[in-house]
Amino acid sequence: METRILNTNNPRRLSEAMKAAAGQLADGQCVGLPTATVYGLAGDALRPDAATQIFEAKERPFFDPLIVHLPSRDWLNRVTRIPEESRAMVEALIAKFWPGPLTLVLPRQAIVPDIVTAGLETVAVRMSAHPVFRAVVEHYGQPLAAPSANRFGHISPTAADHVMSELGGRIPLIIDGGPTQHGVESTIVKVDAGELSLLRAGPITPEDLGGVFQALCQSHGHQPSDAEMEAFYERLGVSFAAISRGEENVTMVAPGQMESHYAPRTPLRLIEPGVQVEIYHGEEEASVRLGSLAFRRPSTAAHFACEEILSPTGDLREAAASLFAKMRRLDEARLDMIIAEQVPEHGLGIAIMDRLRKAAAHHV
């Protein structure tokens, strides 16, 4: 199959791309589309045949459910069933973060095909803020299932050419909306009996979620105690005490369930900042090629065949935005190993460290 890429850099092209995408979607095909997090592979979320195409193009196992992207707020009640005790929390999250990089896992309605939720009684929903994604989903007028547009187990794409190298020849169309803004996948939270748990760290940080919880309590005339804040943050896997003290690392336990399938092909080792890299490679020394993925400063310790720096100013947003593109570049540089430096684990650093640990877990 020939894969076309359409760009959107003027209003006429955007309008043509939008119509071409809607045409493919109406045909049950899937289309690569930009969101503000990473590129997605979108198909009509209410058509099992379209979902099947997504799973096949990605070689994704059928037990792994898809995220459903809504055209508008109205669709929330058609796709999910929000229990009374969760309603205030859901409303507060949506008011603050939608459209945006927050995915909610909620009980589903029967309209959502089983293949989309992998048979679960819940469905993951979000509303993207990306103008191109919004244009397509609003024009199409139906929810779109859209996982990240990579083959299963690979790094998520943050540019149209990444989608081409992952899925070229397997899908008819990719819409180019330029590099993505956030660079890491959406934050996923589950809302259950009014309480939040964090399923995936992302651009909406635990600190952001804590702010909503506090404001929600206050809007009911209740000032949450430290113990209540502690309990709220604990379900998100971070320490309220560490946040209050402004500590560099606020994660309580490094997440146990490593997705070992989420990685570059090149082995990646995660090191603490400032650690001297010494790799013993005996006889083969001259032929070993190392790459560095550093946070702020180039490493002086080892000589690297390639070096990428995430953010010279130490800005976690900038670091996240370029993380996957830099990982991908290193992965394509025929290296024997990538040495990645840890970043401070607060705010967006929690999501970055999560992705780095997953990339490293593949190879231990």
Nearer to Mg ion (CB atom), residue 335 or residue 359: 359
Q: Which residues contact 245 (CB under 8 A, 6 or more apart)?
A: none
CA distances from 104 to 65, 91, 197, 200, 266 (A): 13, 11, 10, 11, 33
148 belongs to the binding site for Mg ion (CB under 5 A): yes
Nearer to ligand TXA (CB atom), residue 18 or residue 67: 67
342 belongs to the binding site for Mg ion (CB under 5 A): no
186 belongs to the binding site for Mg ion (CB under 5 A): no
Q: Which span (120-128, 234-242, 274-282, 302-310) binds ligand TXA, by CB under 6 A?
A: 120-128
What's the closest the beta carbon of residue 15 comes to ligand TXA, in angstroms? 22
Q: Is 17 left (phi over 0), alpha (psi -120 to 50) or beta?
A: alpha
> Which of 53, 122, 251, 292 is the binder for ligand TXA (CB under 6 A)?
122
> Which of 40, 143, 157, 210 is the binder for ligand TXA (CB under 6 A)?
40
Structure tokens that stand for 251 in this block = 């994660």
Nearer to Mg ion (CB atom), residue 14 or residue 146: 146
Q: According to CB under 6 A, which residues from 181 to 240 bind ligand TXA?
A: 185-186, 188, 199
> Which of 32, 113, 147, 291 is the binder for ligand TXA (CB under 6 A)?
147
No. of helices (H) and no. of strands (E), the chain: 12, 14
Nearer to Mg ion (CB atom), residue 148 or residue 158: 148
Which residues pair with residue 192 across a beta bridge? 195
Q: Which residues contact 282 (CB under 8 A, 6 or more apart)?
A: none
123 belongs to the binding site for ligand TXA (CB under 6 A): yes
What's the closest the beta carbon of residue 131 comes to ligand TXA, in angstroms? 15
Grouping H, G, I as helix, E, B as strand and the rest as coil, residue 347 is coil
67 belongs to the binding site for ligand TXA (CB under 6 A): yes
Q: Which span (145-153, 218-226, 237-245, 346-354) binds ligand TXA, by CB under 6 A?
A: 145-153
**CA 170 to chain centroid:** 22
117 belongs to the binding site for ligand TXA (CB under 6 A): yes
How far apart are the C-alpha atoms of 325 and 321, rounded to whole Å?
8
251 belongs to the binding site for Mg ion (CB under 5 A): no
- From the list 167, 91, 177, the residue with the least C-alpha distance to 129 is 177
CA distances from 315 to 24, 310, 320, 357 (A): 39, 9, 9, 20
Binding site for Mg ion (CB under 5 A): 148
Binding site for ligand TXA (CB under 6 A): 35, 37-38, 40, 64-67, 103, 105, 117, 120, 122-124, 146-148, 185-186, 188, 199
